[in-house]
Amino acid sequence: MAFIIKPLVTEKMTKITDKSSVDRTYTPKAGKNKGQQVTKKATPKYGFIVKPEASKIDIQKEIEALYNVTVIGVNTMRYSGKRSARYTKAGLVKGQRNAYKKAIVTLKEGDTIDFYSNIQ
């Protein structure tokens, strides 16, 4: 069953992907590595809109099957539908946007997903 609706290709998600795809070096102030420089490995993150009934394991299996990558972790968020109203010539029009679920997928170091590879 297809749980993934579409990938999230927005400015915010692109910024998260770019930020997580860079190796970072820092010096911890406490703990066992105090004073030593530690390099945090790059683990790229990608966002997807998924069906509300999808579990993290279902999302992980489908991403691995579709894109041939190794998924380390999946974080999910539920968004409720927002009410909206606007004034038109016909009067007040009320409505509501759909509720949806968003998944942020963390991949193994070195794996990437190219959403633009099949565009001609």
- pLDDT-derived band at 15, boundaries 50, 70, 90: confident
Per the listing, tokens 């609706």 go with 5
C-beta of residue 5 within 8 angstroms of C-beta of residue 63? no
Residue 18 pLDDT level (bands cut at 50, 70, 90)? confident
Residue whose C-alpha is closest to residue 50's, from 6, 109, 85: 6
Question: How high is the pLDDT of residue 63?
Answer: 93
Torsional sign, CA 22, 69, 107, 32: negative
Q: What is the 3-class SS of 22-79, one letter each residue?
A: CCEEECCCCCCCCCCCEEECCCCEEEEEECCCCCHHHHHHHHHHHHCCCEEEEEEEEE
Return the structure tokens found at 91.
């009067």
Residue 14 banded pLDDT, cuts 50, 70, 90: confident
Extents of the domains making up the chain: 4-23+41-107
Question: Which residues neighbour 81 within 8 Å (Cβ) at sequence distance 6 or greater?
Answer: 96, 97, 98, 99
Q: How is residue 46 written in tokens?
A: 């990608």
For residue 97 the two structure tokens come to 């946007």
pLDDT tens profile 80-109: 999 999 999 999 999 999 999 999 999 998
pLDDT of 120 reads: 64
What does the alpha-carbon distance between residue 98 and residue 106 come to, in Å, rounded to a whole number? 26
Place of tokens 């038109």: 88
Q: What pLDDT, in 10s, does the model give residues 25-82? A: 777 777 777 777 777 777 899 999 999 999 999 999 999 999 999 999 999 999 999 9
State the CATH class of domain 4-23+41-107: alpha beta
